[in-house]
Chain A
Amino acid sequence: MAAVGARLAAGLALIGLAAVPPFLPKYGLEVLIGILFFAYLGTCWNILGGYGGQFSFGHAAFFGLGAYTSTLLLLRLGLTPWLGMLAGGAVAAGFGLFEGYLSFRYGLRGPYFSLVTLAFAEMLRVVAVNLKAVGSSLGLVVPSGSSVVAFEFAAKLPYYYVILAMTLLALAITRLIARSRMGYALAAIRENEDAAEASGVNALATKLTAMAVSSFLTALGGTFYAQYFAYIDPSLTFGPSISIQGLLPAIVGGAGTVLGPLLGAFVLTPISELTRAVLRGRAGADVMLYGVILILVISFLPNGLMGLRRSRRPAAERAT
């Protein structure tokens, strides 16, 4: 009975997300796009971080690779960002596999893994800052206009539907993985990697797969960012800020759950908007509040907001 109720709620939410936005005021639509954008990034991060238990602090590496790849392909070769997106994803997945292989092969776990991912993202940022060919610290301007083929829209609404579709895709992929053989393997690795190996789980291959999926999808978010904001630079796309803002929704909402990042984004982004509106001109107040929320969540709700529910879903989907 509860399952039917949940499905009904999900269906209504979906209809709401699809039908309401055309009637929203411009500001409301912007906020909603922001929410879904971070929900998307959080969901992508969650695959490796929440489900796999490998907390990357450097997902900006993939985000930036996606943004720069598609933008450069657009500016230099005129390639449509819809395809450039996929190329960016491939580049990011490749880098993710490289980074992941080195880290996992050499047994880096926990905080050491987090540090190394941070280092790799920073390295890419430094390279981008010093490479004239990609605009160095001045960054790149993405042409804006109105051309569906070029992933450019004059209005915000089309962008909304794009990010909505991406978020639903990411959620679907997460759900698919969580309920599959790989989901069980990831849960086992997350709980106890040695015991998982002893049970026949190929930890390296499983973690690398999660890394590849997570990095590919994150890169798509980078392209979206580039097309939506029409400007990218090394610190916006490769900087620690996007890494952190990408993982916060997952932690706050509930790492290792399908809807956690979405829930987290629906809580965090409006708070950020509200803070910025109330404290005009005081840059940083919203992130400071994020810091406080992070501390509170870890201290009192270590499983995130989703931890508040009595979950009847397979534990393989839940974080500990």
Chain B
Amino acid sequence: MSEAAGLEIRGLSKRFGGLEAVSRFDLTVAPGEIVGLIGPNGAGKTTVFHLIAGFHAPSEGTIRFEGRSLVGLKPHAICRLGLARTFQLVQPFAGLTTLENVMVAAFNRAREVDEARQEATRIVEFVGLGPRRDSPARHLTLADRKRLEVARGLATGPRLLLLDEVMSGLNPTEIEAIIGLIRRIHERGVSLLIIEHVMRAILALSHRLVVLHHGEKIADGAPAVVARDRRVIEAYLGDAAAEAAR
């Protein structure tokens, strides 16, 4: 495992006007790791994803993936380098079928339409959307749309996949299924950086947990340790207490 492999973020900051959404954030994801990124609402987690994936430019800091700097690159270029992301609010190509949705992403690795179709079909089966292959994406249930998001990310052939609250809005059965899917993805050799609010899932899946609060990292370690960290509990309870006091 060379140092240059994986994701390496140092001193990442993002200011919107006067608001500092992310502050001096460090993070590494080594090849083969599943890292959970958690924190109360508004902590800046999705902003971090936007920064990594090229949708926002950082105010400060470096982001390196496999030794290459990602800062300043357009999202599609970052995707080509092997890093894919999903969106918190699912964004299917509504007018295309499930398969066609995935084909768009599959063109990252395939040059020809037939190749892309084959690759996309494989991925569609892998995530369990086989029966829905030719349905227009707008007809999919929420759970299936989430799978589609994941499928699209996978089809680009990433070595690191960023999942943004892929379990939100799902019932316990669907959540179990996604947990299984994530494990299968990991088995294929893809590293994962996961934002999640469903605690038991993220605790079960992650090798390491990173906690973000008001844009700052307040903990980084093994899930069992982080879960008992006083600052982390306060951050979550503090939020809950503030809610209760209102």
* A interface list, Cβ under 8 A from B: 179-181, 184-185, 187-188, 191-192, 194-204, 314-316, 318-320
Contact = CB atoms under 8 A, between A and B. Distances in A.
A198 B74 contact: no
B91 interface: yes
Interface stretch (B23-31, B59-67, B79-87, B214-222): B79-87
A315 B94 CA distance: 10
Nearest to B105: A199
Nearest to A201: B76
Contacts of A319: 95
Q: Which 6 A-B pairs have the closest CB atoms?
A: A320-B95, A200-B79, A191-B93, A200-B108, A197-B75, A195-B91
Main secondary structure of the interface of B (DSSP, over half): mixed
Q: Size range of the interface on B?
A: 20 to 34
Contact of B96 (A198, A200, A315): A315
A194 B107 contact: no
B145 to A, nearest CB: 12
B107 A185 contact: yes
28 contacts: A179-B113, A181-B113, A184-B104, A187-B100, A191-B93, A191-B96, A192-B91, A192-B92, A192-B94, A194-B91, A195-B92, A197-B75, A198-B53, A198-B75, A198-B79, A198-B84, A198-B87, A198-B152, A199-B76, A199-B84, A199-B152, A199-B155, A200-B79, A201-B76, A201-B107, A203-B76, A315-B100, A320-B95
Nearest to A205: B76
B97 A315 contact: yes
A187 B95 contact: yes
Contacts of B191: none
Given A187-B104, A195-B87, A315-B100, A200 B76 contact: yes
Contact of B95 (A191, A194, A200): A191
A181 B111 contact: yes
Nearest to B86: A198
A194 B74 contact: no
A320 B104 contact: no
Contacts of B53: 198
A200 to B, nearest CB: 4
B13 interface: no
